[in-house]
Structure 1
Amino acid sequence: MAIGQELLNVPFGEMVSSLGQAISQAQLQLDTTSMRIAQIMAGEGYDVPDADGDGTHEEHLLVKFGEDELSMLELGFTPSFYHFVDTIIEVKISITMSTEISSSLSTFSGSFNSYFALFAAGASCSSVSASYANKYNYSAEGSSLIRTKIAPVPPPSILEQRIKALIAART
């Protein structure tokens, strides 16, 4: 019973849900950043803090070749896009099994001897914490792990089409 209860106390579903939401939010931020970089690479203006720190001014990222000023997109560069491809959640718990036998021999008035024995078995489960690691010499290194992998992916095909149309319209 104790093992089952302790395992139920680990909020694994909540942890998976929170991780999924965090990845979704992070993916949105990655995509938004990549789109903003695409706009900058197209030569659109972006705000840069003033030297005095009181405000911002707009700059355009253009490269001068002879008489022409070209955007990075016109020169063939493309923004990088990234995608979460693998996520691993690893949670280690410790399960301790214990057995205890207690016995006693008693003498009651006269010569009546009685023998009492008590047998108890139990199991307990706990997450590996710093106090557990110190108390039982358990190495807690890596006891909880969340690992994710981000890989570059090609820009969306419709974005590539729009980039080509933008370049064609400028030339």
Structure 2
Amino acid sequence: MSSVVKTTKALTQAPLPDIVEKLGLAIAGAQFALDINSANLAKTMAETNVEIGGNNYNLLSLGFTPTFYAFTEATVEAKLSYTMSEGTSYGGSLEISASGGTPFFMAAATVSASYERKFSVSAEGASSIAAKLVSLPPPERFLEVLRAATPTLPKPANP
């Protein structure tokens, strides 16, 4: 199998489903890590006390809440460019020389032939992954539990 055919076959069998699967799993793992981070931040805020006017308050009881994030979209982009060429060239030359006089005459001929076959393969690729991350308000259930545990927490305004 020629190198041109092998390269073409390799390039056209790019593992796109694997790339999409790995992107999805990476985003799910990153989202989980963000959620754990927000939960740990809530715990740290509950354990961090601030003294105000002789009274101790944890940050949650003062209305601080951890920031929550979510991925809203993700894009994987792959660009592949390749060129292949195959060429054949033939060449030749003939050189004749003659010299002499009477009674001698001399002739010579030089023949040169060439054959050239060229193969060229060039491949370039680029890929990028972009994800959009937005901050979200704390989950409503988190706020309900927080309000029940800390009566001094401000209640939300009625819409």
TM-score range normalised by the length of the shorter chain: 0.5 to 0.7
Structure 2, unmatched stretches of 5+, are 92-120, 154-159
Moved over 3 A (4+): 1-5, 97-104, 124-127
| Contact 2:61 2:152 (C-alpha < 8 Å) held by counterparts | no
Query: Which one-letter code corresponds to 2:78 in the other structure?
Result: V
Aligned-residue identity in percent: 33
Distance 2:53 2:152 in 1: 20
**How far did 1:147 drift?**
1.5
SS in 1 for 2:138: coil
2:12 corresponds in structure 1 to 7
SS in 2 for 1:150: strand
**How far did 1:98 drift?**
4.0
1:32 corresponds in structure 2 to 36
1:83 corresponds in structure 2 to 70
Q: Deviations over 1:97-149 (max 9, x none)?
A: 54746679xxxxxxxxxxxxxxxxxxx78442xxxxxxxxxxxxxx2111112
1:70 corresponds in structure 2 to 57
**How far did 1:168 drift?**
1.9
Distance 2:21 2:122 in 1: 23
Distance 1:79 1:64 in 2: 20
Say whether residues 1:94 and 2:81 are aligned partners: yes
Say whether residues 1:165 and 2:152 are aligned partners: no
Looking at secondary structure, tell me which structure has more strand per residue: 2
Aligned residues: 122
Larger radius of gyration: 2
Q: Deviations over 1:7-65 (max 9, x none)?
A: 21x1111111111111111111110110111111122xxxxxxxxxxxxxxxxx10101
1:134 corresponds in structure 2 to none
> Structure 1 stretch 72-81 or stretch 86-95: which is displaced more?
86-95
Say whether residues 1:149 and 2:132 are aligned partners: yes
Q: Deviations over 1:56-79 (max 9, x none)?
A: xxxxx1010112100111111111
Say whether residues 1:18 and 2:22 are aligned partners: yes
Distance 1:97 1:125 in 2: 6
Structure 1, unmatched stretches of 5+, are 44-60, 105-123, 129-142
Distance 2:136 2:12 in 1: 38
